[in-house]
Amino acid sequence: MNAEPTKVTVAHGDGIGPEIMEAALRVLEAAGADLQYETVEIGEKVFDQGHTSGISPESWDVIRRNPVFLKAPITTPQGGGFKSLNVTIRKSLNLYANVRPSKSFAPYVASSHPGMNLVIVRENEEDLYAGIEHQQTPEVTQVLKLVTRPGSERIIRYAFEYARAYGRQKVTCMTKDNIMKITDGLFHRVFDEVAQDYPDIEAENQIIDIGAARLAAQPEAFDVIVTLNLYGDILSDIASQVAGSVGLAGSANIGETVSMFEAVHGSAPDIAGRGVANPSGLLWAATQLLVHIGKGDVAETIKNAWLCTLESGIHTGDIYREGLSQHRVGTDAFTDAVIDRLGQTPRHLRPVQYRAGAVNVPARKAPRPQKELVGIDVFLDWSEEGRDPNSLGAGLERSTPDGWKLKMITNRGVKVYPDGLPETFSTDHWRCRFLASDGGSVSFNDVLSLLAAASEAGYEVIKTEHLYNFDGEPGYSLGQGE
């Protein structure tokens, strides 16, 4: 038995946040969760006070010193200058795993997939959410998609550990590695490697596009899905909608020292202050928090009472259906109904059992392979001579110093020189690939000479990417048509 109550940071958030947080805290209290709360202010009011991150330094201190954080949704101000607070919290606190269960509660909540019961484990810090974006030419913008071996290994191992702890049978990896062979390809490869350590759990791979289509049409076929950040974001909203309502889903953001628990939905400003919001998403998140801190028994009591409430047909407006529901209630009455049923077991819906506690996987560094610089991609902003790739190619060939050869030029990834097609559309953004003329390695000084020569010949270099081989294997993709 824990002598000291666990300390929990609580943020009441914006919009419906305060209403559903009050409901969740009332249920936790009535269920005897024995928690000690420290409240922080985040979101709209803090943005208005001039903190562009939406959080004050004092609040950071509180969040960092408590092991768990129950967070109501906040409103993200529209327009430039503000970064998403959710993304900032996840990344600053190293909350590497986003765990989003989606389950159908048919026939009590309308869903066309009564057998659906899956968990999406989403990588939470990398991918396009690294937020590194640039405009490089008048016509072209870019975002960097970062996928790392340690990040991929950690989230994939987390998915298998989670499956084992919660008695799940299968982990499905979803990527787009037929197109992004290096980034998504790394995730897929690491998945195949890690799966070897879990022979008791079935492992399968699906391309994300057909995988998402199957998730929408046949969600019963999935158990645990592990995927990259952006895909996971989209898939989990699809999954919770297919299950019945986004308003029902909770989400855990797991880190090594701090973990954050929240509803999947936003601050719903359209219904704020009316007392009609469904508190279930945040309540579900609160049960994930309880399981995480080893209070699975209290989580079971709350979740079973919640299932009983659904079975009684006591429903908030978002899930109310004529014929299915008995009473249309607001936030307070729904919360009272859950509290009244604490200690009861559902008769038709399957009661929950939370035997496992927290799942956590340490970060691991991979061994460093041998790395060899073999060339460089030089990106130019170039709009002259009718944007004729052959003119650009001929000009660059003339200015290329000894020791280098121009291998190809691409525009938006498609090879346009040599031997491009006249139909290919060209923007002002050109990627020019130079390799060592003898097929061997080059030095950093060779790169500087090449760039100086290009600049002296009048070309505007806007960025470069080094081309490395790792243990003899190219660490860069071919141009389309190369």
Q: 25 vs 74, which CB is nearer to ligand NAD?
A: 74
Collapsing DSSP to helix, strand or coil, 303 comes out as helix
Q: What distances in angstroms separate CA 141 from CA 83, 101, 423, one per listed residue?
A: 19, 35, 23
Residue 56 C-beta: closest distance to ligand NAD, Å: 17
Least distance from ligand NAD to the Cβ atom of residue 179, Å: 28
Rounded-to-integer distance, Cα 212 and Cα 409, Å: 35
d(CA 364, CA 372): 24
Q: And the tokens for 224?
A: 């645990």
| Nearer CB in complex with ligand NAD: 6/76 | 76
Q: Tokens 């022979």, residue? A: 199
Q: Is the peptide bond before 389 cis (omega within 30 degrees of 0)?
A: no
Residue among 247 and 296 whose Cβ is closer to ligand NAD: 247
Nearer to ligand NAD among residue 114 and residue 266 (C-beta): 266
3-state secondary structure of 374: strand
CB of 307 to ligand NAD, least distance (A): 18
- In angstroms, what CA-CA distances link 459 with 213, 381, 397, 449? 46, 8, 12, 14
Q: Which one, of 355, 350, 425, 353, lies nearest residue 387 by Cα?
A: 425
The least CB distance from residue 33 to ligand NAD, in Å, is 21
Min dist. Cβ of residue 271 to ligand NAD (A): 4
Tell me the closest approach of the beta carbon of residue 281 to ligand NAD, in angstroms. 6
- CB 13 to ligand NAD: min, Å: 7
**Smallest separation (angstroms) from ligand NAD to the CB of 294:** 25
Q: How many Cβ atoms from other residues are within 10 Å of residue 340's Cβ? A: 15
Nearer to ligand NAD, 262 or 311 (CB): 262
Look up residue 277 and give its amino acid. Answer: A
Query: Which residue is at the shortest CB distance from ligand NAD?
Result: 266
Is the CB of 85 or the CB of 442 nearer to ligand NAD?
A: 85
Tokens (6 digits) for 197: 């350590």
Q: How far is it, in rounded angstroms, from Cα 442 to Cα 405? A: 12
Closer residue to ligand NAD, CB minimum distance, 101 or 247: 247
Cα–Cα distance, 225 to 235 (Å, whole number): 9
Cis peptide before 107 (omega within 30 of 0): yes
Residue number, 249 or 450, with CB nearest to ligand NAD: 249
CB of 73 to ligand NAD, least distance (A): 4
Residues 6 or more apart from 195 whose CB is under 8 A from it?
Answer: 160, 171, 201, 203
Cα separation, 406 vs 430, whole angstroms: 13
Closest CA to 248 of 282, 287, 296: 282
Minimum CB distance to ligand NAD, residue 43 (Å): 8
Contact between 186 and 241 under an 8 Å Cβ cutoff? The reply is no
Do 183 and 147 form a contact (C-beta atoms < 8 A)? yes
CB of 402 to ligand NAD, least distance (A): 55
Decide whether 280 or 411 has the Cβ nearer to ligand NAD. Answer: 280
The Cα angle at residue 70 between residues 68 and 74, in degrees rounded to 5? 135
Judged by beta carbon, residue 90 or residue 295, the one nearer ligand NAD is: 90
Residues 6+ positions from 105 with CB-CB distance below 8 Å: 111, 243, 244, 248, 307, 310, 349
Q: Which is nearer to ligand NAD, 86 or 411 (CB)?
A: 86
Which residues are near ligand NAD by CB under 6 A? 16, 73-76, 86, 246-247, 262, 265-271, 277-278, 281, 318
Q: With contact defined as beta carbons under 8 Å apart, do 73 and 267 qualify? A: yes
Q: Which is nearer to ligand NAD, 73 or 389 (CB)?
A: 73
What amino acid is encoded at 49 in this protein?
Answer: Q
For the bound state, the minimum distance from the C-beta of residue 439 to ligand NAD, rounded and expressed in Å, comes to: 51
Three-state DSSP at 246 gives helix
